[in-house]
Amino acid sequence: MAAASQHRYFAETIAIGSELLVGGRSDSNSLFIADTLASIGIKVRFKSIVGDDKSDIAHVLKTAGRRAGIVIMTGGLGPTVDDCTRESVASVTGFRLARHKEAFESMRARLAQWGRTPNKKQLRQALIPSTATVLPNPVGSASGFAIIWRGTHLIALPGVPSEMKAMMEQSVVPLLAEQLDRSKDARPHPITRLIFHTWGLPESDVDAKLKGLIPKRTPVALGLLASPTGVLVSLTTKEDGHLKKGTLTSLAEEVRARLGEWIYAEGQNSIEQVVGRLLREQGRTVSVAESCTGGLIGQRLTQVPGSSAYVDRVAVCYSNRAKMEMLGVSEKLLEDHGAVSQEVAAAMAKGMRERADVSVALSVTGIAGPGGGTENKPIGLVYIGLAGGGDDVVTKEFRFHGDRSVIRQRAAQAALDMLRRWLVSRGTT
């Protein structure tokens, strides 16, 4: 375990809810909490998940209280009998539950907005452990609370992500920052985490390119994380050790220099956001002709707010007839080369660009599996085309590994990256 002086800057999250244990959903709240706490120098070191069971919650809470200076619980603050976070906290800490005026009034006001009055069950939501600070809920009806127990901050928040997020930002961060300021210890350095998203290089190649990047005794950790959308590279400052001013900036510069064009985005940006920004800046428009990706590229491009400014249309042509009718691909081309071919990818992109009259058109045709593969055209074979004006049509062949979903994700990512590289090479019109 860490020394006492560090202990206060380590956090544990506890996600409460039986649906998180089996068959239901994974805990995503803790990722937001960890990112938010890192920004004020607090590192999440353990995460626990437990069902709606009073004694199990109590067990987890005791363990967390022993090893972390800050414990953030989410969930179990609702009005149903399942919700027993407040009772568990009361039983572990010995603080009695009492109806809290402020929590009650804010719940009543919130329900009144929705044209309702609190029922008997909902009244439980105003029960707060004595000595606790109430954390107002600007979005929903359940207040959160914070208490100090044996030197550890115990904080309880609702499990609804929008409520949890608002309360983290509006209440928890200011509260903890104030406590840190008051403490005799030196204020911890914010943990900085720089992220670089790459596409097109296997993890081992990214690793090789970054070899020896971090000089010895420099308190920065290099992380690599592979997924179907590429390899994520991270530089994270360590909470111990002194980082010289400018070190992180020059390490980031070095990452950019070594990985160059393979980096498609930094920070929280996705490739569809990067491509969207480039299209907007350049005043260009795009259309997409998809086959095996089935709408995934369109879905990703259009999930960016404001994308209607540059996305004109998407055609998902699953049948050969659709390829002919929607894109003008000739029957002969389909017969001669097959739907999954360089030639058809080129014709799809060209046909789409002409019909939609956009600056640039993308096309994808491939075999996502599990059926449809042959010896010559195996599962994972994908052709991507890009038509950018005149007779200028570029095509590229890919051979992806993975199941249907992974192949579709990789194909969509490859197509968006081809568009990104084309836009970067064109620059502003």
**Binding residues among 389-418 for a copy of itself as defined by CB under 8 A:** 403-405, 408
When asked if residue 316 is in the footprint of a copy of itself (CB under 8 A), the reply is yes
Q: Choose one: 41-49, 100-108, 384-392, 418-426; the region binding a copy of itself (CB under 8 A).
A: 41-49
User: How many residues in the shown chain lie near a copy of itself by CB under 8 A?
Assistant: 81
| Residue in 196, 317, 343, 300 with CA at minimum distance from that of residue 258 | 196
Is 137:129 a contact under the CB 8 Å cutoff?
no
What CA–CA distance (Å, rounded) separates 317 from 362?
13
Q: Which pair of tokens denotes residue 210?
A: 């970054």
What CA–CA distance (Å, rounded) separates 262 from 279?
19
Q: How far is the CB of 256 from a copy of itself (least distance, A)?
A: 19
Pick 128 or 356: Cβ nearer a copy of itself: 356
Per DSSP, the three-state class of 46 is strand
* Binding test (CB under 8 A) with a copy of itself, winner from 7, 45, 277, 377: 45
Provide the residue type at 422 as one letter. Answer: W
Span 215-274, contacts to a copy of itself by CB under 8 A: 221, 223, 225, 227, 232, 234, 236
Strands (E), 28-69: 43-50
Provide the residue type at 10 as one letter. Answer: F
When asked if residue 63 is in the footprint of a copy of itself (CB under 8 A), the reply is yes
When asked if residue 342 is in the footprint of a copy of itself (CB under 8 A), the reply is no
The dihedral sign for the CA sequence 3, 7, 13, 16:
positive
When asked if residue 374 is in the footprint of a copy of itself (CB under 8 A), the reply is no
Give the angle 269-270-276 at the CA atoms, nearest 5°. 95
Q: How far is the CB of 35 from a copy of itself (least distance, A)?
A: 6
Span 98-157, contacts to a copy of itself by CB under 8 A: none
Pick 42 or 128: Cβ nearer a copy of itself: 42
When asked if residue 205 is in the footprint of a copy of itself (CB under 8 A), the reply is no
What CA–CA distance (Å, rounded) separates 292 from 319?
11
| Residue in 279, 277, 276 with CA at minimum distance from that of residue 301 | 276
Is 347:330 a contact under the CB 8 Å cutoff?
yes
When asked if residue 324 is in the footprint of a copy of itself (CB under 8 A), the reply is no
When asked if residue 193 is in the footprint of a copy of itself (CB under 8 A), the reply is yes
When asked if residue 370 is in the footprint of a copy of itself (CB under 8 A), the reply is yes
Span 292-311, contacts to a copy of itself by CB under 8 A: 293-299, 301-303, 305-308, 311
What CA–CA distance (Å, rounded) separates 357 from 286?
9
Pick 118 or 369: Cβ nearer a copy of itself: 369
Q: Choose one: 59-67, 134-142, 147-155, 163-171; the region binding a copy of itself (CB under 8 A).
A: 59-67
Pick 100 or 350: Cβ nearer a copy of itself: 350
